[in-house]
Each structure stands twice: as C-alpha cells, then as structure tokens.
Structure 1
C-alpha cells in the first residue's frame, strides 16, 4: 500500500470513523462520496494490516502445545 508515511492503527481507525460519519451524513456529492469510500477502503486495509501483524506476533509468542 503506497502511503507517504504509514499511519498508526489508531490514526487510521480514527480517520476511518470520520469517513464513515461523513458518508452516513449523506451530504456529500456522488463524486465526494466515491472518494470517501475509496479512502475508507484504503484505511480499512491499513487497519487490517496492523491487526494481521499483531495476530502473527501473538501466535509466534504463544507457547506451542505438545
């Protein structure tokens, strides 16, 4: 994912919440709504990358069952 600087999980989640609020308000034009949707998809992907990374770290740290 090409971003100038990778957002933290918290920053991406906060911006995603703002995007959702704007879309739910319904006051954006169709073009604005499409741009917001695309940004929301990008932010959701960033959040998912963070969560997947955390899941891998937890799995690696978890003791193996014998």
Structure 2
C-alpha cells in the first residue's frame, strides 16, 4: 500500500474513532482493529525512515563541517 504518512495517520485516526464508539458488530470491530494496525505499521515505518534520513543528513553535515576546518 503506497500512502503518505499523513494519509495513513488520518486513516488510523478514523479507525480509532470508529473503535471508540463501540457501536459496531464484533466482526467489524476486529476488521477495523486489523486495519488500524496496518496503518500504524505504515506510520511507524515512515517515521523510522525519516529518522534515518535525518541522522544521515546530520552526519554528512558534521563531516563536511569538520573537513572544512582541517
């Protein structure tokens, strides 16, 4: 599934709202819970990817700065 972080987060929030109402049959509740976990995993993976990119950029910038000072 190719969705942006914002789309996955929005979908996750909608699932949580649906689950919190408690007005859905058990089978639907289980299905929504499963959907929620899928969107949560997408968000977590995209956050991890962003964190790794930021760390890489920071390391590259630090190395450039130190190399410029030598």
**1:1-31 Cα distance to aligned partner (Å, 9 max, x none):** xx2xx11000000000000000000001100
Structure number with greater Rg is 2
Give the unaligned 5+ runs of structure 2. none
Structure 1 outlier segments of 4+, above 4 Å: none
Give the unaligned 5+ runs of structure 1. none
User: Structure 1 residue aligned with 2:54, among 30, 38, 58?
Assistant: 58
TM-score by length of 1: 0.87
Give aligned pairs, total. Answer: 61
